[in-house]
Structures are given as C-alpha cells and as structure tokens.
Amino acid sequence: MDINEAAGAFSGLAQESRLKVFRLLVQVGSDGMAAGDIAKAVGVPKNTMSSHLAVLARANLIQARKEGRSKIYAVDLGGTWALLSFLMEDCCQGDPSVCRPLIETTLATCCSD
C-alpha cells in the first residue's frame, strides 16, 4: 500500500458513522451483514448508509456480495491488513520485533476463540 492508498483508507474511516460500520463489521466477521441491518444497528437512514458503504468499499476496507436480493457487507481483510501493515511498516526504527508483544496481545484479545 502506498501513502495515497493509505490516506484514502483513513479518509474512509474519518467519519463517525463509517467508523461505527467498520467496527461493527469487524465484530461480525466474515459472515457479514445485510446493508439494511447495518443501517439499523448504526442508526443511520438506509440511503445515507448506502453512501457510507460505498466510501468504505472504495477505500478497500469492506466488500459486498450478493445473497438473493440482499447485499451482504463484510470487512475486506486484504485491504484492512494492507492498511495495518502500512502503519507498522516503519515500526520502532526498523525493528518490528519491538512491536510484536503489542500485536500478539491484540490478536489474543480480539481474535481468540
């Protein structure tokens, strides 16, 4: 990821409703949620939510799939990983092992079964 792509991703997250959507989709995992359910959960009108989802998709932070007549949105793990990697790329003066405890603690807290 280059700096322009990272700036676009951060721009996508730099709005309260979009940040709430992203965090919600991180919580629900790869199953994702229907757009209407996301709008209801975040408390945003459906037409406004559609715009927010489009911004997050353009930023490669979420992706959509069709299931019947519904669009299901889930976190784009590749885009999210690229953004996180961009942030950590120059960690600790080029010694990423210094950051390893933070990463391991975060993974153990958020991603353990």
Distance (Å, whole) CA 80 – CA 71: 20
Mean local confidence (pLDDT), 98-107: 72
pLDDT tens for each residue of 58-80:
999 999 999 999 999 999 999 99
Q: Are 36 and 26 in contact (CB under 8 A)?
A: no
Tell the burial category of 20 from Cβ atoms under 10 Å away from its Cβ (0-12, 13-18, 19+). Answer: middle
CB atoms within 10 A of CB 49: 23
**Chain position carrying tokens 């390893």:** 100
Return the closest-CA partner of residue 66 out of 43, 24, 104, 32. Answer: 32
The two tokens of residue 98 are 């210094």
Query: What is the per-residue pLDDT across 40-52, written as a single tens digit (0 to 9) for each?
Result: 999 999 999 999 9
pLDDT at 112 over 90: no
- How many domains in the chain? 1
Question: 14-48, pLDDT tens digit by residue?
Answer: 999 999 999 999 999 999 999 999 999 999 999 99
Range of the domain at 78: 3-111
Tokens 């010694």 belong to residue: 95
Kindly state the DSSP code that residue 64 receives in the 8-state scheme: E
CATH of the domain at 66: 1.10.10.10
